[in-house]
Amino acid sequence: MKNKRFAIVLDTRRCIDCKACTVACKAENDVPLGSENYRNWVGEEKLRGRYPNLGQSYTPSQCQHCGNAPCAHVCPTGATEINPDGIVHVVEEKCIGCKYCMTACPYNARYYNEEIEAVDKCTFCTQRVYTGRVPACV
Ligand code: SF4
Ligand code: SF4
Ligand code: SF4
């Protein structure tokens, strides 16, 4: 479909920090084990209010697939590409591991994958959404 763009809506009011989304992402996408390696995460806000009226909120997040992606602009080899459907992805074979993109990303959404010797991040589960399925984290 022309001008089709993918989007994920996160309703932070419903997040309970169970981290099922991060487990699902790791399993679906063979993200290496270890706390340094992740494509999505759950941000935590400090407790607010006074006992007994306390509250806490969580913010699940991942690569924002930025329209004007700084990670793509700084890449010296063109390894980071922006698809016409808005999905930002890394071409492993072109990545030289300079990590400029990791520094440029304001969301800290990238990590270096030792197993593939390239930078990695959320791919929007293209293997799923291009075949009509929702992303694993959803
Ligand atoms: S890696 Fe960072 S800068 Fe690049 S598209 Fe994702 S959120 Fe934006
Ligand atoms: S680490 Fe790879 S994707 Fe990132 S800027 Fe360098 S070559 Fe590009
Ligand atoms: S869309 Fe896919 S790759 Fe991106 S965070 Fe969700 S499960 Fe991981």
Mutate to test the pocket of ligand 1, among 10, 62, 64, 87 (most ligand atoms within 8 A of CB): 64
Looking at residue 47, what is its pLDDT? 84
Q: How far is the CA of 38 from the centre of ligand 3 (A)?
A: 10
For domain 12-129, give the CATH number.
3.30.70.20
Rounded to two decimals, what is the model's pTM? 0.91
Chain segment 12-40, per-residue pLDDT in tens: 889 999 999 999 999 999 999 988 899 99
The lowest-confidence range among 23-32, 38-47, 114-123 is 38-47
Give me the mean pLDDT over the 94-115 stretch: 97
pLDDT-derived band at 1, boundaries 50, 70, 90: low
Radius of gyration over alpha carbons of the chain, in Å? 16
Q: Where are the domains of the chain?
A: 12-129
Alpha-carbon distances, residue 78 vs 91, 97, 101, 103, 126 (angstroms):
8, 12, 11, 16, 20
Ligand nearest to the CA of 116: 2
121 lines ligand 1 (CB under 6 A): yes
Question: What are the tokens at 22?
Answer: 């991060």
Mark residue 130 as left, alpha or beta (left: phi above 0; alpha: psi -120 to 50; beta: remaining). Answer: alpha
Chain segment 62-81, per-residue pLDDT in tens: 999 999 999 999 999 999 99
